[in-house]
Structure 1
Amino acid sequence: MKTILFLFSFGFWALGAAPKKPNIVLIMADDMGYSDIGCYGSEIRTPVLDELARNGLRYTQFYNTSRCCPTRAALISGLYSHQTGMGLMEGDRGWPGYRGSINKRCVTLAEALKGAGYKNYMSGKWHLTRHKNPNGDRSAWPMQRGFDRFYGTITGAGSFYDPATLCRGNTYITPENDPGYHPESFYYTDAIND
């Protein structure tokens, strides 16, 4: 069985040993231009990403929007963002394409890969739902959309030292419920990469 890690800062990391199925690493990074990575012509050195690109597939024709939520929705589903319910950001505008959460009608990449025997892990910013209450509707949270494990934030930008919606699985991480979590020594980017 294959293993996939989703790093949403964004991305997927696949870990596994089955030789017949490829490992999959899908990385989405907010606010990065097409040529900001060495393998696409940047003067900035990115040796680890360049090595991944050299030994895998590089996609060059994904276009969507300048906003992070619709881009994430399109990338994770293969659909036009309005078809997923994420036509803009996570607010509910009352129209089908603007519900603010990835809808149940679209299949996520993680759901499709699970059917092919993959284990799916995600780390980073999810930002595909308006539902932030862990005791409320979680139908558009990562664990309900095909991921076996999740470590990251449900919402978008916030503090890198004490993120408001930091979760492990479906549980918010706080100093009270996770003795290993110490905001004074925590840094989000480091945590989602470890």
Structure 2
Amino acid sequence: MIKYNLCLMKRGNQILLLNREKPSWMGCWNGIGGKVEPGERPRAAMIREIAEETDISDYRLRFRGLVTWMVDGTDFGGMYLYAAEVPTDYEYSTPIRMDEGILDWKPIDWIMHPHNMGIATNIPRCLEYVLKEDVCYDHHCIYVRERMVEMISTAVRTSIEENMDDLNQYLARYF
């Protein structure tokens, strides 16, 4: 059921984001991530995606929960949410053009600015929890005609990262 992953990588007061050239969120800044391959564990998939998209290997990775969504009341989807942190003095020059778009470090204040229309709509609200909370959350986003109308953040157990029974039991609330 959860087919994707997303990582918000922090360096000091910046987050490494990707300006996507493909759907979904084409033209918007979003976190690093992609698909979880069949049979692949969520954390292994995230590590693979970070390597493929950034080639960064010196980071601390933490599971932060899920981002789930419902589009027009019928189309459910989700992704595992991770936070990674590199040392403040880690040298990684951007912008970098890649197949998926352009990678660049963006200041947290810029990401969180209420008038920023160039970022995936769920990123600022998820980032707020990722930066300030030690608890994992499911950030459930409700979209109507491609516009997010509500986001409900619910604390979840960390076991849902690897325990499929726990994950399926939690996700049953949406069906």
Common fold, TM-score beyond 0.5? no
Q: Please report the TM-score for the alignment, with normalisation by the length of structure 1.
A: 0.25
In the superposition, the TM-score normalised over structure 2's length comes to: 0.27
The structure with higher relative contact order (CA 8 Å, sep 6+) is: 2
